[in-house]
Amino acid sequence: MEKVVIVACGSYMDSGYGCPGEWRCLKAAAMGDGHFEGPSQVIAFVKCECPGRTLAPNTGMAIKLSEIKPDKIYMSSCMVNAKPGCPYADAQEMADIIEKKTGIKVILGTHDYT
Ligand code: SF4
Protein backbone atom coordinates (compact mmCIF):
# COMPACT_ATOMS: atom_id res chain seq x y z
CA MET A 1 0.00 0.00 0.00
CA GLU A 2 1.38 3.39 -0.95
CA LYS A 3 1.93 6.03 1.70
CA VAL A 4 0.77 9.46 0.59
CA VAL A 5 0.48 13.06 1.70
CA ILE A 6 -2.48 15.13 0.56
CA VAL A 7 -2.31 18.91 0.32
CA ALA A 8 -5.52 20.87 -0.11
CA CYS A 9 -6.71 24.44 -0.67
CA GLY A 10 -7.61 25.92 2.72
CA SER A 11 -9.60 28.72 1.12
CA TYR A 12 -11.85 26.19 -0.58
CA MET A 13 -12.10 24.01 2.53
CA ASP A 14 -13.06 27.00 4.69
CA SER A 15 -15.84 28.03 2.33
CA GLY A 16 -18.00 25.46 4.08
CA TYR A 17 -19.36 23.63 1.09
CA GLY A 18 -18.08 21.15 -1.43
CA CYS A 19 -15.22 19.82 0.65
CA PRO A 20 -15.06 19.85 4.42
CA GLY A 21 -17.93 17.60 5.42
CA GLU A 22 -17.27 14.97 2.83
CA TRP A 23 -13.50 14.50 2.81
CA ARG A 24 -13.60 13.07 -0.64
CA CYS A 25 -9.81 13.08 -0.89
CA LEU A 26 -9.66 10.70 2.05
CA LYS A 27 -12.39 8.49 0.63
CA ALA A 28 -10.59 8.31 -2.71
CA ALA A 29 -7.33 7.39 -0.96
CA ALA A 30 -9.03 4.72 1.14
CA MET A 31 -10.84 3.21 -1.84
CA GLY A 32 -8.06 3.62 -4.38
CA ASP A 33 -10.36 5.74 -6.54
CA GLY A 34 -9.61 8.70 -8.78
CA HIS A 35 -5.92 9.43 -9.20
CA PHE A 36 -4.76 6.92 -6.58
CA GLU A 37 -3.27 3.71 -7.94
CA GLY A 38 -4.87 1.65 -5.19
CA PRO A 39 -5.93 1.94 -1.56
CA SER A 40 -3.41 4.32 -0.01
CA GLN A 41 -2.38 5.23 3.50
CA VAL A 42 -2.60 8.98 4.20
CA ILE A 43 0.24 9.91 6.52
CA ALA A 44 -0.42 13.67 6.49
CA PHE A 45 -3.08 16.10 5.29
CA VAL A 46 -1.73 19.61 4.83
CA LYS A 47 -4.00 22.63 4.48
CA CYS A 48 -2.75 25.46 2.30
CA GLU A 49 -3.43 28.98 3.50
CA CYS A 50 -3.37 32.09 1.34
CA PRO A 51 -1.10 33.24 -0.18
CA GLY A 52 0.38 29.77 -0.15
CA ARG A 53 3.92 30.58 0.93
CA THR A 54 3.81 28.15 3.85
CA LEU A 55 2.55 25.18 1.87
CA ALA A 56 5.90 23.70 0.81
CA PRO A 57 7.63 24.19 4.17
CA ASN A 58 4.58 22.90 6.06
CA THR A 59 4.45 19.86 3.81
CA GLY A 60 8.12 19.22 4.45
CA MET A 61 7.59 19.59 8.19
CA ALA A 62 4.57 17.27 8.19
CA ILE A 63 6.65 14.59 6.48
CA LYS A 64 9.51 15.12 8.90
CA LEU A 65 7.26 14.95 11.98
CA SER A 66 5.44 11.86 10.73
CA GLU A 67 8.82 10.10 10.39
CA ILE A 68 7.37 8.33 7.36
CA LYS A 69 8.58 9.06 3.85
CA PRO A 70 5.57 9.12 1.53
CA ASP A 71 5.68 7.56 -1.91
CA LYS A 72 3.78 10.48 -3.42
CA ILE A 73 2.21 13.80 -2.59
CA TYR A 74 -1.26 14.51 -3.98
CA MET A 75 -2.62 17.97 -4.59
CA SER A 76 -6.35 17.90 -3.96
CA SER A 77 -8.75 18.12 -6.85
CA CYS A 78 -9.99 21.46 -5.48
CA MET A 79 -6.49 22.89 -5.76
CA VAL A 80 -6.15 21.65 -9.29
CA ASN A 81 -9.66 22.04 -10.73
CA ALA A 82 -11.69 24.55 -8.72
CA LYS A 83 -12.90 27.62 -10.60
CA PRO A 84 -12.10 30.37 -10.03
CA GLY A 85 -8.66 28.99 -9.39
CA CYS A 86 -5.98 30.02 -6.94
CA PRO A 87 -5.14 33.69 -7.50
CA TYR A 88 -1.56 33.23 -6.31
CA ALA A 89 -0.14 30.35 -8.31
CA ASP A 90 -1.28 27.74 -10.78
CA ALA A 91 -1.37 24.11 -9.75
CA GLN A 92 1.68 23.06 -11.74
CA GLU A 93 3.72 25.90 -10.27
CA MET A 94 2.75 24.84 -6.74
CA ALA A 95 3.50 21.21 -7.54
CA ASP A 96 6.95 22.14 -8.81
CA ILE A 97 7.68 24.09 -5.62
CA ILE A 98 6.59 21.18 -3.41
CA GLU A 99 8.56 18.66 -5.46
CA LYS A 100 11.67 20.82 -5.27
CA LYS A 101 11.27 21.20 -1.50
CA THR A 102 10.57 17.56 -0.69
CA GLY A 103 12.11 15.58 -3.55
CA ILE A 104 8.85 13.60 -3.74
CA LYS A 105 6.66 13.27 -6.84
CA VAL A 106 3.53 15.41 -6.77
CA ILE A 107 0.34 14.20 -8.47
CA LEU A 108 -2.20 16.77 -9.65
CA GLY A 109 -5.62 15.86 -8.29
CA THR A 110 -7.06 13.27 -5.95
CA HIS A 111 -10.60 12.26 -6.94
CA ASP A 112 -13.13 12.61 -9.72
CA TYR A 113 -16.22 12.45 -7.51
CA THR A 114 -18.87 15.03 -8.38
S1 SF4 B 1 -2.97 30.12 -1.81
FE2 SF4 B 1 -4.33 29.31 -3.40
S3 SF4 B 1 -4.35 27.07 -3.04
FE4 SF4 B 1 -3.55 28.04 -1.16
S5 SF4 B 1 -5.37 28.35 0.18
FE6 SF4 B 1 -5.07 30.26 -1.02
S7 SF4 B 1 -6.41 29.99 -2.82
FE8 SF4 B 1 -6.11 27.94 -1.91
Three-class secondary structure assignment of 35-59: CCCCCEEEEEEEEECCCCCCHHHHH
Q: Are 36 and 28 in contact (CB under 8 A)?
A: yes
Quick: pLDDT tens for 69-102.
Answer: 999 999 999 899 888 889 999 999 999 999 999 9
Pocket lining: 10 vs ligand 1, CB cutoff 6 Å: yes
Task: Say how many Å lie between the CA of residue 12 and the centre of ligand 1.
Answer: 8
Task: Say how many Å lie between the CA of residue 30 and the centre of ligand 1.
Answer: 25
Quick: pLDDT tens for 14-26.
Answer: 876 666 546 789 9
Q: 4 by DSSP, 3-state: which?
A: strand
Would you say residue 109 has pLDDT above 80?
yes
pLDDT for position 21: 47
- Of the candidate CATH numbers 3.20.20, 2.30.30, 1.10.287, 3.40.50, the domain formed by 2-108 belongs to 3.40.50
Q: Please tell me the residue having the least CA distance from ligand 1 atom 2.
A: 86
Q: Considering the entire predicted model, what is its pTM?
A: 0.92
